Structure 1
Amino acid sequence: MGKFVNSTEEFFAYCEENDVQFVDLRFTDIKGAWHHVTYRMSAVNVGIIEAGFPFDGSSVDAWQPINKSDMLLKADIGTAFLDPFTADPTIIVFCDVYDIYKNQAYERCPRSIAKAALKHADSLGIADAAYFGPENEFFVFDDVKFTDDIHEAGYRVDTEEGGWNSGTTYPDMYNTGHRPGTKGGYFPGAPTDSAVDLRAEMMLVLEQVGLEVVLGHHEVAQGQHEIGIVFSDIIGAADNVQKYKYVVKMIAHLNGKTATFMPKPLYGDNGNGMHVHQSLWKDGKNLFYKEGNYANVSEMGLNYVGGIFKHARAVAAFTNPTTNSYKRLLPGFEAPSVLTYSSQNRSASCRIPYGAGEKATRVEMRFPDSTACPYLAFAVMMMAGLDGIQSKVVPIGPMDEDLFELTLDEIREKGIPQMPHTLRGALEALIRDNDFLKPVFTDEFLNSYQAYRFERDVFPDEGRPTAYEFKTTYQC
């Protein structure tokens, strides 16, 4: 589906036609979290759209200090769409953040960084367009509880689909007995797939907000799902991830359920990934296509993969940016951590879809997850890929065997690099290896990002005892 408006004039006409009462300005922080501020329609005019909407940048995690807190939101009018969930007609607009102190796009604004990455590719003469197709998986639970205190910690999630509920007595209904079981949820029919109508509602609302929906299905794990949408350019694809997550969470919420994109909420079952299909284009030609090569992928396409693999440990700090991310990256759960490529083989970190023609040839990175800020994840992968193209890095592969069956010793013997095993490992790799990002990512941003992730995620996680540690250690 195309844009709803293409100019400021069309924006105001569209708002009048739809009796819009509120303008909701959305922007994204370095975690990928959406923030918003709502203006009355009567307070919005051409002047403020052109000048920018003021806000306090010191109240956003890892942004401005309080003595330099004034910032501007620059509305991208072409992204406007009606919020399907508000009681009063409200139009949502994506915004970029502007730094009034440096008179430039804010260097910690993820959306502005992604735009700069595309400009960099063009300035190198390599590509004038980059297309990304993320596949975001999610869980829908009926209930979630967690506690984190000085003397106790724990969590509990529940879904009627969970095999642990086979013996549950429900007070107001009978136990249906139809459950997918661990790793048994891929494409089952109803009633085992209990979310047919819920996903259908999500798909219809996603189309209302401008996404082109292809399919929806139950995923492998209990309570896990995926909805497939059409790819877009690097900015449009990241915008779509934000819309996708918003709609999925809201539809679940309005149906008395809760949705999460957390990579590994269930121990022993598959986790949520964000497989990302990617290709570079120039003058309307797919640079990753060469007929007759392995999977029809060009040398440039393989160099792009090689660049991502070369910098993968640092890339992971953005594509897999939480401690929970690395609980997903385990062999046997369709979450590959072995850095090689293959056609058809989903145990490789990069899959090149089999038999694709000129327009569809692409590379699919399978290790990212949806805790990533999409703008930063896409930009970092592209920057690594561009470095691979410039340096002509050749990745290890192809490897068409089941890599999940290889032992750690066999992986090492074959000389195949792996993803980092912890967020600490990824962040420490980023400290050592970040020159490939420097044309777009500033030192100030990189230093702030590393410090924030260490302080918010790594140190608190490493300092907390877990239930499993009590199980293994208490009686020692």
Structure 2
Amino acid sequence: MTEKTPDDVFKLAKDENVEFVDVRFCDLPGIMQHFTIPISFFDESVFEDGLAFDGSSIRGFQSIHESDMLLLPDPATAQIDLFREAKTLNLNFFVHDPFTLEPYSRDPRNIARKAENYLISTGVADTAYFGAEAEFYIFDSVSFDSRTNGSFYEIDAISGWWNTGSPNELDGSPNRGYKVRPKGGYFPSPPSTTTSTCATRCCPT
């Protein structure tokens, strides 16, 4: 990831006429959490003093009796959100103890940073990649339920091999075959894959 300074972040916000900053951080299971602030609330003090939040509202963090937590931004993660109607700058934050300013031990991003620093200290390597093999799936339908008496999940896709015997595709058109066999969908070409156009439209964003 390209190194950036706070000045780089402010310049990006100014050049892009940013209206809001989306403050992002991870809970203990690694799920991204966020809240949004107006750009007028985002100045140099955020990088020095951080932003306070209620840690008792986040899974795996603090109890309600000692819920105060602090967020400090990671300038390297600044980027413009391409999907918001209002021009928004997305920025990841590290979680810190508000009194000692020590990195919070249950923040997954802090844990990853410690692991990277340890790796560097061993001399084995200077770079670590996490989740380098990203999977990409396009489903036509996803449903699930969890009740007292049972639970289930079900996915469906036009290209699914289980639809080989269906008289029609999920969109109602005739079944034209070309279903990808089980465990054979890593590098199929058209017409076996039907989502190439969708995938290329997704890539720029």
- Displacement after TM superposition at 1:94 (Å): 1.2
Write the distance in 1 (CA, Å) between the matches of 2:151 and 2:40.
48
Percent sequence identity over matched residues? 31
2:82 paired residue number: 84
2:31 paired residue number: 33
SS at match of 2:180: coil
2:197 paired residue number: 197
Does the 8 Å CA contact 1:54/1:70 hold for their aligned counterparts? yes
Cα RMSD between the aligned structures? 2.0
How many aligned positions are there? 202
Cα deviations by residue, 1:218-258 (Å, 9 ceiling, x for unpaired): xxxxxxxxxxxxxxxxxxxxxxxxxxxxxxxxxxxxxxxxx
- Displacement after TM superposition at 1:131 (Å): 3.0
Write the distance in 2 (CA, Å) between the matches of 1:145 and 1:128.
43
Greater fraction of residues in helix: 1
Equivalent position amino acid for 2:194 in 1: S
Cα deviations by residue, 1:440-459 (Å, 9 ceiling, x for unpaired): xxxxxxxxxxxxxxxxxxxx
User: Is 1:43 the counterpart of 2:41 in the alignment?
Assistant: yes
The 1:195/1:151 distance shift into structure 2, 3 A limit, reads same
1:368 paired residue number: none
The 1:197/1:119 distance shift into structure 2, 3 A limit, reads same
- Displacement after TM superposition at 1:103 (Å): 3.1
Cα deviations by residue, 1:124-165 (Å, 9 ceiling, x for unpaired): 5x3461232611224321111111111122222101111222
Equivalent position amino acid for 1:40 in 2: P
Unaligned ranges ≥5, structure 2: none
2:168 paired residue number: 169
SS at match of 1:49: helix
Write the distance in 2 (CA, Å) between the matches of 1:147 and 1:108.
30
- Displacement after TM superposition at 1:102 (Å): 4.0
Write the distance in 2 (CA, Å) between the matches of 1:144 and 1:172.
18
The 1:180/1:99 distance shift into structure 2, 3 A limit, reads same
1:226 paired residue number: none
Write the distance in 2 (CA, Å) between the matches of 1:79 and 1:46.
17
Unaligned ranges ≥5, structure 1: 206-476
1:322 paired residue number: none
Cα deviations by residue, 1:380-407 (Å, 9 ceiling, x for unpaired): xxxxxxxxxxxxxxxxxxxxxxxxxxxx
User: Is 1:131 the counterpart of 2:128 in the alignment?
Assistant: yes
What TM-score, normalized by structure 2, do the two folds share? 0.88
1:75 paired residue number: 73
What TM-score, normalized by structure 1, do the two folds share? 0.40
The 1:184/1:18 distance shift into structure 2, 3 A limit, reads same
Does the 8 Å CA contact 1:76/1:96 hold for their aligned counterparts? yes
The 1:40/1:173 distance shift into structure 2, 3 A limit, reads same
Does the 8 Å CA contact 1:22/1:39 hold for their aligned counterparts? yes
Write the distance in 2 (CA, Å) between the matches of 1:8 and 1:186.
41
Equivalent position amino acid for 2:108 in 1: P
Does the 8 Å CA contact 1:73/1:98 hold for their aligned counterparts? yes
2:106 paired residue number: 108
Equivalent position amino acid for 2:51 in 1: F
Write the distance in 1 (CA, Å) between the matches of 2:134 and 2:183.
18
User: Is 1:120 the counterpart of 2:118 in the alignment?
Assistant: yes
Does the 8 Å CA contact 2:46/2:72 hold for their aligned counterparts? no
The 1:169/1:118 distance shift into structure 2, 3 A limit, reads closer
1:20 paired residue number: 18
The 1:109/1:196 distance shift into structure 2, 3 A limit, reads same
Work out which of the residue numbers 85, 90, 93 in structure 1 matches 2:91: 93
Write the distance in 2 (CA, Å) between the matches of 1:154 and 1:188.
30
List 4+ stretches of structure 1 deviating above 4 A: none
- Displacement after TM superposition at 1:22 (Å): 0.7
Write the distance in 2 (CA, Å) between the matches of 1:110 and 1:104.
14
Cα deviations by residue, 1:52-93 (Å, 9 ceiling, x for unpaired): 011111111111111111111100112200011111111111
The 1:42/1:164 distance shift into structure 2, 3 A limit, reads same
1:53 paired residue number: 51
